[in-house]
Structure 1
């Protein structure tokens, strides 16, 4: 069942993305996750609590979120398939659709390249600021382009490959449990003092959930674009145990240096470089990265289709 659901959801996402009109009317499901996490954080992540207590309460908040999400997903999936047959799995695919980000990721990254090509550096900074967490106000053209390419590579895992992976294994509850964990990590899974204890469980869970998908993402990017040597050599240069795999694969495929020193909240972090070659990326490199990304997405389609055919 998961395979035709995956293909249908991939097709819906590729054709429509998550339409702005729909977003304005109903928002996006991850917004609900964000509100739940924010509510738990406001109540339980208090400065007067000790480290161990805050870590336990953060784990409890994550557990409640994952239990509720997977339980609701399983109940809905079971009901739809039991009562509506073929129409049921089509409805399940529609419910999976917003968990994928093929189209929106492509559109956001392409917008950065278009602004660079138009000579609009402030517009390019604003566009890349929508998809990265680093400081963008002082970035030059090369820094903006590298940030966009890095986000494209990392989000290929978080937004496409990993949701599809967990969908194929556990169906609707799997894909939305993954999105819940990934959302929790993006909001509270940080190393700053405020989040270190409360977000510990979210960060570790997201690391675990992405461990296999990140390496598969790097593998897929290398299959369609090359870059094997750089991926094996530099994947561990990233602070994350997972993000370095698709980023190093993309760096190798493009013959660029990615990552390197970066500023967050006004503080410069001297991070190691990933890849060889030039670091002066531009709009043309974004176009090349998008071409690699599209081929990797097509390969995911072929994998889902092959699984459906074998089934």
Structure 2
């Protein structure tokens, strides 16, 4: 029946309407409820969110801070900075521009504090701006220096004839120009089944692969699991296989010469995503000069298997 293993950390309990355990980006499909929030987690959150979210939060935070200080300048009197225009909106804009100059420590132009209250507030704001800029600089360094794998997995999971039997295949490629050194991969199958008492449980199997490690990867690597008598999928026909509530959970590790350390990445496929009797289109070829060319546009391409 295959190499059944203990729970790798995902939990044995399942449900009739359970969704995938892992998202396509490698994060676990897990929702935290009633989890206490800690300020110490802010750095971890800001380092790991996407660049778009990071810059949106940065600009939004800067705008809100300057807006708050602009209101404070209005409360203590805009006359301590610049003569009032008599219009609340224009006075707010002047206070906001003055706050931005103070916060970024750019220096004063025609607007400057002329009173004790405005001087105290502007000094505190300048000190706050220095602290926040140092914090953001640290975040930028942390985001750029964070070791992170950049592996692209094929959109398709195919099932085709291979070595006089069937095999499940997917492939991967390095998104960077650097070479992956000693990449190694493991694939765990999670099957949701109904137990004797009617409960849904997860069973886990370590799938045997044609090759689970290579020396280096400059092009693509097709991962193959042959469905032989030792495979946990041997009992299913092609049609039954794609109807199973099963998920392939993949982890790849390799030495990245850019970071000088080992990095990891995870991915998953649902069994119902299998494309029957298809094969991958070769994504690399040799040009007229004899140089190998890797065409990334062909990486996800598949075609029906020729009879």
Question: Max radius of gyration: which structure?
Answer: 2
Q: TM-score, normalised by structure 2?
A: 0.22
Structure with greater helix share of residues: 1
